[in-house]
């Protein structure tokens, strides 16, 4: 084994203290019995829903609002902090809303309690009494706006500042904001967003959109852009589509779904199958892992009639998998990657 257990890994048996040693191939009864006993230790890991509720609620509200405005909504896109320095890492944008009038960057917080300003620091007090201090979420979100603007410029879409907007949305119904935060132009609650869509800017009517398409078809690109901007204060439909495509190409988090439904998000660095380590996994792919679990179902591989698991999908070619296989995964919010035993995993998705 390599490495040492992380303090947060207690009671999470799917995380291993290191990479398992490779055993020599062995199809004997004794080996199968050992593997069967290992598979009996795999327990379901229930889904954790609380953290995702805020974004899901906001997606529903913004989805209804933006559908009539020819918009596009993207969740969990990650953009380089510095396009010229990959080592600087990436920002995660909770929601990116692209419409013909603007690109809105949304930070989502599902906080319950009170939030106040003390100088420039944001002080959050949970209903349990726990108090945490944060730098301005608005300033942090504005850095994401700048990063996305640089990314679009690198894609040949140089847009003025006026085309970008941002907001920090609090989705929990039991959040109390102080007077300064309640009046902040970039801070909004889900209830306010439900009752007033003005925070997302003026909508685009069907007639405006059709006329813009007509101008785009009949005029040269530079002329069409100026006419559409001057007449309707919006970008051309083609520009809006190109922006949406550029945002859509950004990677999201990789996802590991454990047996029982719990999902981990982060970066899937590599996986090991049958002693072979596989790096540089392609984006936008999925792998389903089918295991013979349980005392009775496990008798099938124990009798030598099938492997203990099989991997299918478009991430990798179909392959047999076993109890020694694992992945190296850097979960979001953790200080370092961890080794996860593959028998605890039901699905892998690359962002």
pLDDT tens sequence across 221-246 = 778 787 788 777 789 889 999 999 99
- Rounded to two decimals, the pTM is 0.70
Instruction: Provide the residue ranges of all domains of the chain, joining segments of one domain with +.
Output: 7-45+259-349, 50-248
Contact 115, 181 (CB under 8 A): yes
Per-residue pLDDT at 125: 96
Per-residue pLDDT at 155: 95
Contact 140, 180 (CB under 8 A): no
* Highest-confidence segment of 62-66, 170-174, 224-228: 170-174
Per-residue pLDDT at 193: 76
Phi, psi of 289, rounded to the nearest 5 degrees? -110, 120
Give CA–CA dist 255/332, Å, rounded.
10
Question: pLDDT-derived band of residue 85, with 50, 70 and 90 as boundaries?
Answer: confident
Q: Which long-range contacts (CB under 8 A, 24 or more apart) does 152-157 make?
A: 152/103, 152/243, 152/246, 152/247, 154/83, 155/242, 155/246, 157/239, 157/242, 157/243, 157/246
pLDDT tens sequence across 98-148 = 988 889 999 989 899 999 999 989 999 999 999 999 999 999 999 999 999
Angle between helices 137-154 and 237-248 (to 10 degrees): 110
pLDDT tens sequence across 26-54 = 889 999 999 999 999 999 998 755 455 55
- Taken in order 220, 151, 328, 290, the sign of the CA dihedral is negative
Per-residue pLDDT at 59: 57
Residue given tokens 């209804």 in the structure block:
64
Mean pLDDT of the region 313-331 = 95
Per-residue pLDDT at 75: 83
């Amino acid at each position: 084994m390599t490495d040492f257990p992380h303090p947060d890994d207690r009671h999470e048996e799917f995380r291993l203290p290191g990479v398992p040693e490779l055993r020599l191939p062995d199809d004997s009864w004794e080996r199968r019995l050992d593997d069967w006993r290992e598979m009996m230790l795999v327990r379901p890991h229930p889904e954790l829903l609380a953290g995702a509720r805020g974004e899901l609620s906001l997606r529903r509200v913004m989805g209804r609002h933006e559908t009539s405005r020819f918009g596009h909504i993207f969740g969990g896109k990650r953009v380089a902090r510095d396009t010229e320095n990959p080592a600087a890492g990436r920002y995660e944008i909770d929601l990116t809303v692209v419409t013909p009038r603007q690109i809105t960057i949304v930070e989502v917080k599902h906080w319950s309690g009170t939030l106040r300003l003390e100088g420039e620091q944001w002080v959050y007090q949970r209903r349990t009494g726990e108090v945490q201090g944060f730098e301005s979420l608005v300033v942090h979100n504005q850095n994401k706006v700048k990063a996305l603007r640089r990314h679009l410029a690198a894609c040949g879409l140089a847009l003025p500042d006026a085309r970008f907007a941002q907001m920090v949305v609090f989705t929990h119904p039991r959040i109390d904001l102080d007077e300064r935060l309640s009046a902040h132009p970039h801070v909004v609650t889900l209830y306010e967003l439900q009752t007033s869509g003005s925070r997302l800017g003026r909508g685009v009517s069907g007639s405006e959109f059709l006329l813009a398409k007509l101008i785009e078809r009949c005029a040269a690109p530079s002329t069409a852009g100026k006419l559409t901007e001057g007449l309707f204060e919006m970008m051309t439909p083609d520009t809006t589509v190109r922006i949406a495509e550029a945002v859509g190409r950004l990677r999201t988090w990789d996802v590991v779904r454990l047996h029982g439904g719990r999902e981990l998000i982060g970066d899937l660095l590599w996986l090991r199958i049958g002693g072979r380590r596989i790096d540089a996994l392609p984006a936008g792919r999925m792998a389903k892992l089918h295991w013979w679990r349980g005392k009775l179902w496990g008798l099938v591989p124990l009798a030598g009639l099938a492997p203990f698991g099989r991997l299918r999908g478009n991430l990798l070619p179909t392959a047999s998998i076993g109890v020694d296989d694992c992945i190296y995964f850097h979960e979001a919010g953790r200080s370092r990657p961890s080794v996860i035993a593959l028998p605890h995993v039901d699905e892998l998705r690359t962002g």
